Amino acid sequence: MQVDLRTPWWIGAVRIPTRLVLAPMAGVSVQAFRRQGRRFGAGLVCSEMVSCAGIEHRNERTLGYLRVGSDEHPLAIQIFGSEPATMAEAARMVEAAGADIVDINFGCPVKKVTKTGAGATLLEDPARAVGIVRAVAEAVDIPVSVKMRRGLENGSRACLDIGPRLEEAGAASLTLHPRSARQMYTGDADHTLTAELVERVEVPVVASGDVTSRARAQAVLATTGAAAVMVGRGAQGNPWALREILGEDGAGPSREEVAAELVLFVRETVRELGERRASGFLKKFYGWYLGRGRFPRPFKQELVQLPTTEEVERRLLTAAPGAADLLERLEAELPTGDEILLDMPISVYGGG
């Protein structure tokens, strides 16, 4: 049976307008990425991981300010750490910043995070994990969600044991990426685990992992009973994938559309991060946008070598002259509104 991904659902009291969630990804999920995801149909967007230790100490090199734009809602801000009290304080701050949901990361497989007792390590320390969720849920008035992997090791079923306990502690939603931390992003996501988790809890479950097309999204929803799907790597440089998954537009973008969206993304990222940081940050996006046969491979290499984002814009608009009119239209349609700035360091580690 086909599921209409354009129907709303709820996390606690927060209404999510579509059943498509844009994943939190470290080094990717800046505000420009999230705002674009909302334009292309994501019902919920998520920040990259925010270090609760960075919030507590405030002496970590600041990598940027987390901005909450008026057009991002509903928005989840994801935090990670290993101490309940510190995580509770971080949750209070992200609630004050305007987040609709506070998301807790129990899925990051990266050693720099797991060695501190955070991320996926907490799946093997259920008492501490439950303590963190309870502390966070008691600290804020907004819903709490948890993103997790199956466990640390291949074949682990830790997520199924801990899921009901997290719900009891106050989690209003669970997201499962059914790979182990050891797998990182290799192999396949085992969504039979997702189906088992759905059976064990009453809160909505979001299915994450290998959701790259409408057919795959429909298959995962039909076989698991999950409330929604989460898309991550498939949306990198490819927001059109979100529309295809929703069933709104199966046609691929033209060169002009790709160039216009990329220039807009460049401008929004520069506005957010500043020219110096944005220039390096954006280089990986050039390959993501221009790949899939959209532009010749040497063109991507040419863009990476350009010293400023202004030169990148100029080269893109020269290569696809029709993009200028599309870009003007896109910028005119962008909503304007006040932003709330969350003054805290952002971690560059992890994802999950």
Active-site amino acid positions = 108
What is the CA 316 to chain-centroid distance, rounded?
27
The CA distances from residue 139 to 30, 122, 134, in Å, are 26, 20, 9
DSSP run (H or E) holding 194: helix 191-200
The CA distances from residue 111 to 124, 230, 270, in Å, are 15, 24, 30
Cβ-Cβ contacts under 8 Å for 61 (sequence gap 6 or more): 345
Cβ-Cβ contacts under 8 Å for 283 (sequence gap 6 or more): 304
Using CB atoms within 10 Å of the CB of residue 40, give its burial: 0 to 12 exposed, 13 to 18 middle, 19+ buried.
buried
Ramachandran area for residue 170 (φ above 0: left; ψ -120 to 50: alpha; else beta):
left
Q: Cα(268)–Cα(284) distance, rounded to whole angstroms?
A: 16
Cβ-Cβ contacts under 8 Å for 82 (sequence gap 6 or more): 116, 117, 118, 121, 122, 128, 132
3-class secondary-structure state, position 319:
helix
CB of 226 within 8 A of CB of 220? yes
DSSP run (H or E) holding 329: helix 323-333
